[in-house]
Structure 1
Amino acid sequence: MDSKDLEAEIHPLKNEDGKLQESLGNQLKKEDNVKSTPLQSRLSRCRTVAFFLSLFICLLVVFVISFIIPCPDRLALQGMWRINYNMAVTYDFLATKDINKDKVQDVLFLYKNTNSSNDFNESCTLEGFSSPCSFVAAVSGANGSTLWERPAAQDGGLVLCDVAQPRDSGESSACILMDRAGSLIAVNVFTGETLWSQPSSFRRNSSILSPLLQVPDLDADGAPDLLVLTQEEEEVSSYLYSGSTGHQIGHQGSLSVGKTSDFLLYVTRAGAHYILLPCASSICGHSVKDIYEKVTGRDSSLRRDPSWENMLNATNPRLLLHSSGAINHLMNVPGKGGEDLLVVGSEACVLLDGQELAPRWTFSVAQVFRKPILGRYKPDTMAVVIENGTGIDRQILLLDLSTGALLWSQALPGLPGDPQSASLPTADHRSAFFFWGLHELVGANQTEPGDSQRSLYMFHPTQPSVLLELANVSANVVAFQVALFEPGRHAACILLTGPANPDAPGLVSVAKHKVQDLILSSRVVRLTEGGPDSDQATRDRLSRLRYQSET
Structure 2
Amino acid sequence: MMDSKDLEAEIHPLKNEDRKSQENLGSRLKSEENLQSTPPQSRLSRCRTVAFFLSLFICLFVVFVVSFIIPCPERPASQRMWRIDYNAAVTYDFLAMEDINRDRIQDVLFLYKNSNISSNSSQSCADEGLPSPCTFVAAVSGANGSLLWERPVAQDVALMKCSVPQPADSKASSACILVGRPGSLLAVDLFTGETLWSHSSSFGGDASVLSPLLQVPDVDGDGAPDLLLLSQEGKEINGYMYSGSTGHQIGPRGSLGVAGDSSPLLHVTRTGAHYILLPCASFLCGCSVQGLYEKVTGREGPFKKDPLWENMLNASSHGQLLRSSGAVRYLMNVPGKTGQDVLLVSSEACVLLDGQELTPKWTLRAAQVLRKPILGHFRPDTLAVVIENGTDFDRQILLLDLSSGALLWSQALPSLLGGPPSTSLPTADHRSAFFFWGLHELVGTNEMESREAQHSLYMFHPTLPGILLELANVSANIIAFDAVLFEPSRHAAYVLLTGPSSSDMPGLVSVTKHKVRDLVPGSRVVRLGDSGPDSDQAIKDRFSRLRYRSQV
Q: 1:256 is matched with which residue?
A: 257
| Secondary structure of 1:248 counterpart | coil
Q: 1:156–1:446: structure 2 CA closer, same or farther, 3 Å change rule?
A: farther
Shift of residue 63, structure 1, vs aligned partner: 13
Superposed, 1:284-303 pairs within 5 Å as 284-303=285-304
Q: 1:71–1:425: structure 2 CA closer, same or farther, 3 Å change rule?
A: closer
| Secondary structure of 1:417 counterpart | coil
Shift of residue 64, structure 1, vs aligned partner: 13
Q: 1:232 is matched with which residue?
A: 233
Shift of residue 260, structure 1, vs aligned partner: 2.0
| Structure 1: distance between partners of 2:291 and 2:205 | 26
1:221-276 deviations in Å (ceiling 9; x for gaps)? 32211111122222222222221121222222222333523221001111111000
| Secondary structure of 1:440 counterpart | helix
| Structure 2: distance between partners of 1:465 and 1:22 | 105
Does the 8 Å contact 1:330/1:342 carry over to 2?
yes
- Please identify, of 292-301 and 135-144, the stretch whose mean Cα deviation from structure 2 is larger: 292-301
| Secondary structure of 1:516 counterpart | helix
Q: 1:407 is matched with which residue?
A: 408
Q: 1:453 is matched with which residue?
A: 454
Q: 1:178 is matched with which residue?
A: 179
Does the 8 Å contact 1:134/1:154 carry over to 2?
yes
Superposed, 1:379-458 pairs within 5 Å as 379-444=380-445, 450=451, 452-458=453-459
Does the 8 Å contact 1:328/1:369 carry over to 2?
no
Q: 1:63–1:349: structure 2 CA closer, same or farther, 3 Å change rule?
A: closer
Q: 1:82 is matched with which residue?
A: 83
Q: 2:364 is matched with which residue?
A: 363
Shift of residue 362, structure 1, vs aligned partner: 1.0
1:18-60 deviations in Å (ceiling 9; x for gaps)? 99659978xx99xxxxxxxxxxxxxxxxxxxxxxxx9xxx9xx
- Please identify, of 139-148 and 156-165, the stretch whose mean Cα deviation from structure 2 is larger: 156-165
1:302-343 deviations in Å (ceiling 9; x for gaps)? 100111111113562444422222221111011010111111
Q: 1:161 is matched with which residue?
A: 162
Q: 1:262–1:22: structure 2 CA closer, same or farther, 3 Å change rule?
A: same
| Secondary structure of 1:343 counterpart | strand
Shift of residue 380, structure 1, vs aligned partner: 0.4
1:209-228 deviations in Å (ceiling 9; x for gaps)? 11111111222232211111
Does the 8 Å contact 1:434/1:456 carry over to 2?
yes
Q: 1:352–1:24: structure 2 CA closer, same or farther, 3 Å change rule?
A: same
Does residue 1:308 correspond to 2:299, yes or no?
no
| Secondary structure of 1:249 counterpart | coil
| Secondary structure of 1:419 counterpart | coil
Shift of residue 164, structure 1, vs aligned partner: 1.4
1:170-200 deviations in Å (ceiling 9; x for gaps)? 3211010112323111000111100001113
Q: 1:13 is matched with which residue?
A: 7
Shift of residue 354, structure 1, vs aligned partner: 1.1
| Structure 2: distance between partners of 1:521 and 1:450 | 24
CA RMSD, 1 decimal: 3.0
TM-score w.r.t. the length of structure 1 is 0.87
Does the 8 Å contact 1:415/1:449 carry over to 2?
no
| Structure 1: distance between partners of 2:119 and 2:466 | 55
Does residue 1:206 correspond to 2:207, yes or no?
yes
Structure 1 residue identity aligned to 2:496? L
Shift of residue 529, structure 1, vs aligned partner: 4.5
Q: 1:149 is matched with which residue?
A: 150
1:470-507 deviations in Å (ceiling 9; x for gaps)? 11010111111111111101111000111011111111
Q: 1:21–1:505: structure 2 CA closer, same or farther, 3 Å change rule?
A: same
- Please identify, of 528-537 and 261-270, the stretch whose mean Cα deviation from structure 2 is larger: 528-537
Does residue 1:344 correspond to 2:338, yes or no?
no
| Structure 1: distance between partners of 2:276 and 2:65 | 64
Structure 2 residue identity aligned to 1:550? Q
| Secondary structure of 2:83 counterpart | strand
Does the 8 Å contact 2:239/2:253 carry over to 1?
yes
| Structure 1: distance between partners of 2:200 and 2:121 | 22
Q: 1:533–1:237: structure 2 CA closer, same or farther, 3 Å change rule?
A: same
Q: 1:439–1:299: structure 2 CA closer, same or farther, 3 Å change rule?
A: same
Structure 1 residue identity aligned to 2:218? D
Does the 8 Å contact 1:390/1:415 carry over to 2?
no
Does the 8 Å contact 2:185/2:199 carry over to 1?
yes
Shift of residue 350, structure 1, vs aligned partner: 1.0
| Structure 2: distance between partners of 1:504 and 1:152 | 21
Does the 8 Å contact 2:353/2:359 carry over to 1?
yes
| Structure 2: distance between partners of 1:308 and 1:194 | 40
| Structure 1: distance between partners of 2:483 and 2:215 | 23
Superposed, 1:1-150 pairs within 5 Å as 9=3, 12-14=6-8, 72-115=73-116, 123-150=124-151
Structure 1 residue identity aligned to 2:387? I
Q: 1:486 is matched with which residue?
A: 487
Does the 8 Å contact 2:275/2:288 carry over to 1?
yes
Q: 2:30 is matched with which residue?
A: none
| Structure 1: distance between partners of 2:223 and 2:312 | 33
Structure 2 residue identity aligned to 1:509? S
Shift of residue 154, structure 1, vs aligned partner: 1.1
| Structure 2: distance between partners of 1:296 and 1:530 | 62
Shift of residue 419, structure 1, vs aligned partner: 1.0
Q: 1:373 is matched with which residue?
A: 374
| Structure 2: distance between partners of 1:380 and 1:64 | 40
Structure 1: gaps (5+ residues): 30-53
Structure 2 residue identity aligned to 1:339? Q
- Please identify, of 272-281 and 71-80, the stretch whose mean Cα deviation from structure 2 is larger: 71-80
1:142-181 deviations in Å (ceiling 9; x for gaps)? 1111111111111132111111112222321101011232
Q: 1:41 is matched with which residue?
A: none
| Secondary structure of 2:489 counterpart | coil
Does the 8 Å contact 2:260/2:285 carry over to 1?
no
Q: 1:317–1:20: structure 2 CA closer, same or farther, 3 Å change rule?
A: farther
Structure 2 residue identity aligned to 1:493? Y
Q: 1:188 is matched with which residue?
A: 189
| Structure 2: distance between partners of 1:11 and 1:135 | 116
Structure 2 residue identity aligned to 1:372? P
Structure 2 residue identity aligned to 1:460? H
| Structure 2: distance between partners of 1:380 and 1:102 | 30
Shift of residue 71, structure 1, vs aligned partner: 6.4
Shift of residue 443, structure 1, vs aligned partner: 3.0
- Please identify, of 170-179 and 316-325, the stretch whose mean Cα deviation from structure 2 is larger: 316-325
Shift of residue 292, structure 1, vs aligned partner: 1.2
Shift of residue 76, structure 1, vs aligned partner: 2.1
TM-score w.r.t. the length of structure 2 is 0.87
- Please identify, of 319-328 and 434-443, the stretch whose mean Cα deviation from structure 2 is larger: 319-328
Q: 1:116–1:95: structure 2 CA closer, same or farther, 3 Å change rule?
A: closer
- Please identify, of 326-335 and 223-232, the stretch whose mean Cα deviation from structure 2 is larger: 223-232
- Please identify, of 103-112 and 449-458, the stretch whose mean Cα deviation from structure 2 is larger: 449-458
Identity of counterpart residues, as a percentage? 66
Q: 1:50 is matched with which residue?
A: none
| Structure 2: distance between partners of 1:254 and 1:450 | 47
